[in-house]
Chains A and B, each alone.
Chain A
């Protein structure tokens, strides 16, 4: 221990203002130390002033030479949030403070501890000792009544600390729910716009058919467009419903043994009409059957979504590679494109419910962003997963893994 310092508080030296930082003995090496929340510190400080007044009242109007509130904010490190110097000037912490044997005794007994020139009372919040109130005066004369008063003030500090913690918790939750609400309304906004574009085309062609302004050949094309756009709307709506079902946990799978090849063919039949001249599919079916137990329709949708996504996010065209594979445990589906790719910082958002990535390169691309969210949730419901590897400008690779129907299969 350093010379000239005695226990918890520095020994006052003639002519030296008492208790200036460092107020307390700091062990060497210094313990870990973090920051103290400003509100908490101010709250504790208010009660601290009351403690000082109390000491002045009960101790023959002599103000304490030194007092401090410590809060146990980091594991075993006590942080001094308020202290008092000899001139009666209150100092706001945080100051670092050492473990002190008096503290240990106060914590263990749960009672105020009055030692030589030092009185200590535990500060409790939600029943846990979170700090200590310590008071020092020259010639401290604390009886049981004064100790009780000290404990009362310590309890008030603890109450304030608990209130603060509860309030902050509440604020955090309120912030989170505000954020979710905002995301929800943004999502509804995107979904409404996504429905508007096919709806506009259906309405437009219907009005033209009614007016009789279309030539014979164009009428067939119009009916085909109306059919496609109705399908597109139906798909959007079912995506939204699936999302709602996932959220209320009311989505149940219709499981049956199925070969991945059958699912691949179903998906290819759906996406082929969507392929423009710019995109081509390269399909590697692997060798032999790959049996999984799956909800055939939902797994087909997963694959359709991944391929559709690959097409949408390679606006300059190119090859979409689809590969089926297996190892000893899992069935593997890989969908790879050579499109615009995804930045590393965007990948964590990609599979979230509101994860539609809107960047200058993608803002004109249609979609609610639900496809990937639903795809991964569906894979996970099957006991599998989807991961992505991507490089901006070079394309993305989505890999679906699913448990094989039988390890001997």
Chain B
């Protein structure tokens, strides 16, 4: 559907990506998954997602580099990005927020339902799950 809210997950852990995808899809979002930073940038440009969840530890380009490049491109600079990572160090959090991430979430402390609600809070009411 054209007015679907599209979420891009940039996450190299296949199992984690699949879990978040299941929950977001159940809540009516359209989800695309990128398993590394380069693919993430490509999908961000091609798919024009409404929202991006970004892991920090990624093969090739790490999450910070991806965020910087997203912010440097006119087409992607306004897409809300939330960092979703296993690392909770305050200096990483600060760096991420400074680079323009909306929030910084630690995976082990964030349930898939919370992820979904965060998307909703940011992008507004979504279309109902399609039958």
Residue in chain B with minimal CB distance to A198: B15
Once the chains bind, are B107 and A196 in contact (CB under 8 Å)? yes
Once the chains bind, are A225 and B58 in contact (CB under 8 Å)? no
Contact of B113 among A193, A211, A222, A315 (CB under 8 A): A211
The yes or no answer to B12 lying at the interface (CB within 8 A) is yes
Measured in the bound complex, the distance between the Cα atoms of B62 and A222 in whole Å is 28
Once the chains bind, are B62 and A200 in contact (CB under 8 Å)? no
Measured in the bound complex, the distance between the Cα atoms of B110 and A195 in whole Å is 15
The yes or no answer to B19 lying at the interface (CB within 8 A) is yes
The yes or no answer to B108 lying at the interface (CB within 8 A) is yes
Contact of A200 among B22, B57, B58, B86 (CB under 8 A): B86
Question: Binary interface profile of B, 25-65, with partner A (CB < 8 Å = 1, else 0)?
Answer: 01100000000000000000000000000000111001000
Measured in the bound complex, the distance between the Cα atoms of B19 and A213 in whole Å is 12
Question: Binary interface profile of A, 307-320, with partner B (CB < 8 Å = 1, else 0)?
Answer: 00000000100000
Q: Which residues of A contact B94 (CB under 8 A)?
A: none
Complex interface residues of chain A between 189 and 211 (CB less than 8 A to chain B): 193, 196-197, 199-201, 203-205, 207-208, 211
Residue in chain A with minimal CB distance to B106: A196
Once the chains bind, are B57 and A201 in contact (CB under 8 Å)? no
Once the chains bind, are B86 and A208 in contact (CB under 8 Å)? no
Once the chains bind, are B26 and A214 in contact (CB under 8 Å)? yes
Quote the shortest CB–CB distance from B1 to chain A (angstroms). Answer: 20
Once the chains bind, are A364 and B12 in contact (CB under 8 Å)? yes
Number of interface residues of B (CB under 8 A): 23
The main secondary structure of chain A at its interface with chain B is: helix
The yes or no answer to B100 lying at the interface (CB within 8 A) is no
Contact of B13 among A197, A208, A218, A222 (CB under 8 A): A197
Once the chains bind, are B111 and A207 in contact (CB under 8 Å)? yes
Q: Which residues of B contact A382 (CB under 8 A)?
A: none
Once the chains bind, are A213 and B23 in contact (CB under 8 Å)? yes
Q: Which residues of B contact A364 (CB under 8 A)?
A: 12, 57-59, 62
Once the chains bind, are A363 and B26 in contact (CB under 8 Å)? no
Quote the shortest CB–CB distance from A177 to chain B (angstroms). Answer: 25
Contact of B19 among A193, A199, A205, A215 (CB under 8 A): A205
The yes or no answer to B77 lying at the interface (CB within 8 A) is no
Question: Binary interface profile of A, 372-405, with partner B (CB < 8 Å = 1, else 0)?
Answer: 0000000000000000000000000000000000
The yes or no answer to A72 lying at the interface (CB within 8 A) is no
From A208, A363, A364, residue with most partner B Cβ within 10 Å: A364
Q: Which residues of B contact A363 (CB under 8 A)?
A: 57, 62
Quote the shortest CB–CB distance from B73 to chain A (angstroms). Answer: 23
The yes or no answer to A229 lying at the interface (CB within 8 A) is yes
Residue in chain B with minimal CB distance to A362: B59
Measured in the bound complex, the distance between the Cα atoms of B87 and A316 in whole Å is 26
Measured in the bound complex, the distance between the Cα atoms of B87 and A271 in whole Å is 28
Once the chains bind, are B22 and A214 in contact (CB under 8 Å)? yes
Known contacts A213-B23, A213-B26, A229-B15; A204/B59 CB under 8 A? no
Complex interface residues of chain B between 9 and 24 (CB less than 8 A to chain A): 12-13, 15-16, 19-20, 22-23
Once the chains bind, are A201 and B19 in contact (CB under 8 Å)? yes
Residue in chain A with minimal CB distance to B55: A364
Measured in the bound complex, the distance between the Cα atoms of B17 and A204 in whole Å is 11
Complex interface residues of chain A between 342 and 382 (CB less than 8 A to chain B): 363-364
Once the chains bind, are B108 and A200 in contact (CB under 8 Å)? yes
Known contacts A196-B86, A208-B113, A363-B62; A201/B26 CB under 8 A? no
Residue in chain B with minimal CB distance to A213: B26
Q: Which residues of B contact A218 (CB under 8 A)?
A: 22
Known contacts A225-B15, A363-B62; A193/B86 CB under 8 A? yes
Q: Which residues of A contact B86 (CB under 8 A)?
A: 193, 196-197, 200
Contact of A193 among B12, B20, B87, B112 (CB under 8 A): B87
Q: Which residues of A contact B26 (CB under 8 A)?
A: 213-215
Measured in the bound complex, the distance between the Cα atoms of B23 and A208 in whole Å is 8
Residue in chain B with minimal CB distance to A225: B15
Quote the shortest CB–CB distance from A243 to chain B (angstroms). Answer: 21
Measured in the bound complex, the distance between the Cα atoms of B15 and A213 in whole Å is 17
Residue in chain A with minimal CB distance to B107: A200
Question: Binary interface profile of B, 62-105, with partner A (CB < 8 Å = 1, else 0)?
Answer: 10000000000000000000000011000000000000000000
Q: A197-B107, A204-B111 are in contact. List 4 more A-B contacts (CB 8 A).
A: A200-B107, A201-B19, A204-B16, A213-B112
Give 8 nearest A-B pairs by CB, closest first: A200-B107, A207-B111, A200-B108, A196-B86, A364-B59, A196-B108, A364-B57, A204-B112
Q: Can you pick out 21 interface pairs between chain A and chain B where the beta carbons lie within 8 Å of each other?
A: A196-B107, A196-B108, A197-B16, A199-B108, A200-B110, A204-B19, A204-B23, A207-B112, A208-B22, A208-B111, A208-B112, A211-B113, A213-B27, A214-B26, A225-B15, A225-B19, A229-B15, A363-B57, A363-B62, A364-B57, A364-B62
Which residues of B does A touch, CB under 8 Å? Answer: 12-13, 15-16, 19-20, 22-23, 26-27, 57-59, 62, 86-87, 106-108, 110-113
Which residues of A does B touch, CB under 8 Å? Answer: 193, 196-197, 199-201, 203-205, 207-208, 211, 213-215, 218, 222, 225, 228-229, 315, 363-364
